[in-house]
Amino acid sequence: MLTKKLEQLHTLFAEMDRALIAYSGGVDSTLVAKIAYDVLGDRALAVTAESPSLLPEDLEEARIQAATIGIAHEVVQTHEIDNPNYAANPVNRCYFCKSELHDTLKPLALERGYPYVVDGVNAEDLGDYRPGIQAAKERGARSPLAEVGVTKLEVRELSKQLGLAWWDKPAQPCLSSRFPYGEEITITKLQRVGRAEKYLRQLGLRTLRVRSEGDTARIELPPEQIKEFMLTADLPTLVSAFQSYGFVYVTLDLEGFRSGKLNQGLQLATASLATR
């Protein structure tokens, strides 16, 4: 099955002839960049958007991964934070983020002679609440993984099969996803979240989130890691560090990490309306 899907992806890119990849450095878009380069060579270009919602460390990883693959790589600036519709953090915030991204990438692609802009959306993403996907489609972007039906697990399996060392890299959505809908997003808030997550990564933690709610930082870790973290972490030093970043309170989510947790409020609201 995987072999067939990989063949379909190869055929898809061969038909495109030239493609610009919206490349975040995550495992999905990196697999797309790898396959595009394998098929198209120098007719493929990976472009990463740099903004306050991207950790500098993630940008550096994207550069390293692109260089390892061999694909041409460029960085462009995006300014979604300047859009009041984005900064207000409505439930469709991602729509405005992806609108800014693809309004930047599409003209660049046309100027450079790339008829297609492709992204790393996989088949499972289509079943989640992802308003950004609509913005990308409205601007003509294509999603090869979704078109071929590649799931997240298959993304990792294919990445491993193709020798990509980061096949098990944890998902790392933009920092704006750390805030509850309705709370204004600012550069200062993004920076303090980024510094807090960097602090935890330096402790050796890989899968994590620091959710920001007002002056409170809520740390999410995989459930199986919570007990060890409580027993081994230097909590007073951690709290002091987080407070130096601008947080007043530091808490630990006892439920543990769950991707897309802040969408839970939307799901609860929808369920409540359905029972009325």
Question: Token pair of 228, please?
Answer: 């060890």
pLDDT greater than 50 at residue 269 = no
Average pLDDT over residues 112-122: 97
Spatial distance between the Cα atoms of 268 and 117, rounded to a whole number of angstroms: 35
Spatial distance between the Cα atoms of 171 and 27, rounded to a whole number of angstroms: 7
- Residue range 76-100, pLDDT digits in tens: 999 999 999 999 999 999 999 999 9
> What architecture is domain 2-161?
3-Layer(aba) Sandwich (3.40)
Q: What is the pLDDT of residue 233?
A: 96
All CATH 3.40.50.620 domain ranges of the chain, comma separated, are: 2-161
All CATH 3.30.70 domain ranges of the chain, comma separated, are: 175-264
pLDDT greater than 50 at residue 274 = no
pLDDT greater than 70 at residue 272 = no
- Residue range 139-192, pLDDT digits in tens: 999 999 999 999 999 999 999 999 999 999 998 889 999 999 999 999 999 999
Number of neighbours of residue 145 by Cβ within 10 angstroms = 28
> What architecture is domain 175-264?
2-Layer Sandwich (3.30)
> Judging by beta carbons within 10 Å of its beta carbon (0-12, 13-18, 19+), is residue 158 exposed, middle or buried?
buried
Which residues in the chain belong to E strands, given as ranges? 19-22, 44-50, 72-77, 116-118, 209-213, 216-220, 249-252
